[in-house]
Structure 1
């Protein structure tokens, strides 16, 4: 399995690097270079380099370093585990024991499937089409760095110079030879707000029927050209009949009509629309009754919002998807760094002891007596808003997150350093680092493996808590904590809080089940006979 991981890492580094040189936006593989673009400190001016390595005169060194390290890691794994290598018997027994815990095994399968879907990135969730054909020309806006404008697709007027509105273009292209293939969820996670949504209402036997059947109560409107933001006339309905005040606007948005209805009959009205009469004014729109939903809007399958929208107008499915990607990135960055620091310090404490052990223990005790989240909030609030990002927040979490495992690793090192194999390694001239990482560390792997699922749950909860309290990532990131906060402040829109809560709980339950199975597989009592 590790050899396959090495091959995948090497392939990802090559494909990601080539994609950057060809100005492509490949799913997930674009992340290192896009991060370097967003954070000036991760790029530098390098006028002497070839043009294909520069973007607007800047060398995105973080992206290239990331892929070089990934390639080296892949080559090392391929060398360490050659083709045809057989899994050690103990590892084989542990794997079989893990598979025997069915809920843990299937939870791992589900989590890997979720990670695969998240890795598809803009191919699944995004506002740009995967493929577009206009006047015989083909383009791939979702996978190109180039931003297509409305003029590229024949749009005129104010929208010609702005980025193309592909959802509007898809409606415009209906019935023509031009077409767009949109992602499964045609909305971006953030920065893609929908102001209005609407559903058609049916007039039956002189009464207006609601979207779910039955006589309609509430507001119904005519709109101009099917655009929910351009309202023509708004009526009030009760029991399917017009009742009460009504108002209308001209195509420029100026109010020009007001009236009053009683039991469906117009009893009074005022119209200021030139010489046109009431019948001519009413005929300006398509006479289709629609119910308009303002944000947060409930789930509307007809509009493509299967879980509704939040207060900012973001599609909740797309927002949850973006939050999932943020959490996966955080786990893949945070967990390895924390374990490298925590394991190294813990093993050195147990091996050296003395003043080094005492000093680090006192340091850990000081910070352990302060609530972890409280300390992170203090440091997070000190960071300027312009500098905030996933990297800064993870740096703060790493700064205080490595201490939890040091005591376990210290205890393991104290126990293992008294073994004969450690004494033999020292006598043979092995250095301290070789003793630590080649001899002691492999014998403590069971501790590390059983801790990883709990570390994953911890980082997800920490990010969610920080975002919920307003001390986490900026609004350009989709986060479950901010969505949870939005839902709890608007309990009249239960689809917001329920979506965030169910997603968070489901993720943590799956990780917990995997942790249970891992702990069972590495339980030393399963493979030890006591006499």
Structure 2
């Protein structure tokens, strides 16, 4: 039947229309190439070498299994760690021994050794300014009688602050004024904090201590001011190598640190190369800074570095390998699911539409009952009984996913069963199965073909969603949804969010483009309107 469809001039015309839509045709080729690359993932991303030359013989671990005993005579029948074998003295005993690894020598299940990941051997000295805290004693008319370390509000010395009115420096909110008046009225008042902005635009937090009634009315009230800085504002970082030389282009602030404090900082920096050290206070130009010592260490997940262009996940596995193998699983699952669902749906819809009558009504009621079953609960129940697996997930999805296509096929058969060519076949004594298969089905496949790409996109998205929720493929199976689930746990790991999302979005978008092209090719009126 497929050969007859391909030879059909109408089918050829539709394919020509599809080819003329460049976006859809290019998307089909891109999906095909990506799927082909994913099928050859072992030749692209793998921690197993393609070829091993050892002891004068050639081995091909990519296609054959070799135990550890073959190479080192340990008696173990387990698969050897080829990377450790390549670095061993036994392997380097002969210059003729060598291994050829794929372009990305990392497998989807391999956990990286932190010592093999290149990180700069440097210590960063981070200097963060400490917020300035000061106090002012003010009278009932808000005249400043005495101040301590509050000159930052006026930008002048203490002599210029004392005797001035608080309104000269700050715009006081009504709530703060009421709280001050309650204290000068000798009324109990709770602790209060107010964030205000001075005349220079600087944010300041003003706090008032808890006040209780006294025997005499207070003459002054103390206000505490704390400078508010945005996170990262004023922070400086200077990187040092093991020679204790700054590698920052212009460490101007370092040259302004007093000599005794600079020597102490260098001592702490040298110690940080070997062990963690505590923060250290530094004073530069009468401004207090908190000095912290940061040495980059490998902790998973780890951002993209040389050799791992897409980063490393929380288990130390290469994200590129996980995405590539996940592409193969996603597309394979989608294709198998859609094909199985459409075969079942076509068979069910064809029987209902051709025979109609009581059989059709009974089957429709049964399908409605079946489609009302909660798929997710069934999936959880089956997974808890039989364990999660690719086949179980495919079966559970397949027994529910065929319902939609059966409706379309049923409608097509109900429309075609009374056509003259079908009646003529019946009059000639053609068996019903042959009428369904040879005469009606080829003319009823339009919805199957047009819905195929969209069903594939839906299957890929559903698999990713189930893996994200933890009801999909069992770990450590490579999966885009599992990477996105890790991204939820490590929200700072942007590479776990970006790259799997781009892969999922890209494949689904390409599938939609292909489906749009097929739909337009099978709808001449719509095709002409777009043209």
Given the two structures, how large is their TM-score scaled by the length of structure 1?
0.65
Classify the secondary structure of the residue corresponding to 2:52: strand
Query: Match for residue 22 of structure 2?
Result: 102
* Structure 1 residues 214 and 410, CA gap change in structure 2 (3 angstroms): farther
Query: What are the superposed Cα offsets for residues 389-413 of structure 1, whole Å, 9 maximum, x if unpaired?
Result: 1111100001111001111111111
> Contact 1:379–1:396 (CA<8 Å) still a contact in 2?
yes
CA RMSD of aligned residues (A): 3.4
- Aligned positions of 1:298-317 closer than 5 A: 298-301=303-306, 304-317=307-320
Inter-partner Cα distance in structure 1 for 2:247 and 2:55: 42
Matching residue within 191, 194, 201 for 2:121: 201
**2:136 matches 1:131:** no
* 1:141 counterpart (34, 53, 61): 61
Which one has a bigger Cα radius of gyration?
A: 2
Match of residue 431 from structure 1 = 431
1:133 Cα offset (Å): 1.1
C-alpha distance in structure 1 between counterparts of 2:266 and 2:100, whole Å: 39
Instruction: Give, in whole Å, the separation in 2 of the partners of 1:291 and 1:258.
Output: 11
User: Structure 1 unaligned runs (5+)?
Assistant: 1-75, 216-237, 249-256, 264-288
The CA deviation string for residues 1-56 of structure 1, in whole angstroms up to 9 with x for no partner, is xxxxxxxxxxxxxxxxxxxxxxxxxxxxxxxxxxxxxxxxxxxxxxxxxxxxxxxx
- Does the CA-based 8 Å contact 2:268-2:277 persist in structure 1? no
The verdict on how the C-alpha distance between 1:136 and 1:214 changes in structure 2, with shifts beyond 3 A counting, is: farther
Q: Report Cα offsets for 1:153-196 as digits up to 9, x if no partner.
A: 4598xx98753222334455689442211112212222x21242
Aligned residue runs from structure 1 range 376-455, under 5 A: 376-384=376-384, 387-455=387-455
**Structure 1 residue 259, shift from structure 2 partner:** 8.1
Is residue 244–residue 262 contact of structure 1 (8 Å, CA) maintained in 2?
no
Task: State the match for 2:191 in structure 1.
Answer: none
| Aligned mate of 2:301, from 293, 296, 312 | 296
Q: Are residues 1:332 and 2:343 paired?
A: no
Q: Distance in 2 between matches of 1:297 and 1:152?
A: 35
1:381, CA displacement in angstroms? Answer: 3.4
Structure 2: segments with no counterpart, 5+ residues: 123-240, 252-263, 282-293
Checking the alignment, whether the CA contact within 8 Å between 1:480 and 1:504 is kept in structure 2 is yes
> Map of 1:482-497 to 2, 5 A cutoff?
482-497=482-497
In structure 2, C-alpha distance between the alignment counterparts of 1:425 and 1:527, rounded to whole Å? 33
Equivalent position of 1:18 in the other structure: none
Q: Secondary structure at the match of 2:99?
A: strand
> Pairwise mapping of residues 141-290 of structure 1 onto structure 2 (< 5 A)?
141-144=61-64, 146-149=65-68, 152-154=70-72, 163-171=79-87, 176-190=95-109, 192-196=110-114, 197-201=117-121, 203=241, 206-207=244-245, 209=247, 242-243=268-269, 246=272
Q: What's the CA shift for 1:415?
A: 0.7
Bigger shift: residues 167-176 or 422-431 = 167-176
Whether the 8 Å CA contact 1:201–1:209 is kept in 2: the answer is no
1:400/1:160 Cα in 2 relative to 1: closer, same or farther (>3 Å)?
A: closer
1:117 aligns with one of 31, 37, 46: 37
Q: What residue is the counterpart of 2:198 in the other structure?
A: none
Q: What secondary structure, in the 3-state scheme, does the structure 1 residue paired with 2:298 have? A: strand
| Partner in structure 1 of residue 360 of structure 2 | 357
Aligned 8 A contact 2:390 2:473 in 1: yes
Are the aligned partners of 1:207 and 1:241 in contact in 2 as well (CA < 8 Å)? no
In the TM superposition, what whole-angstrom CA distance separates every residue of 1:426-472 from its partner, at most 9, and x where no partner exists? Answer: 11111111111111110112211101001101111111111111111
Which residue of structure 1 aligns with residue 514 of structure 2?
514
Aligned to 2:237: none
Deviation of 1:525 (Å): 3.0
Equivalent pairs, count: 382
**1:241 to 1:95, Cα distance in 2 relative to 1, 3 A:** farther
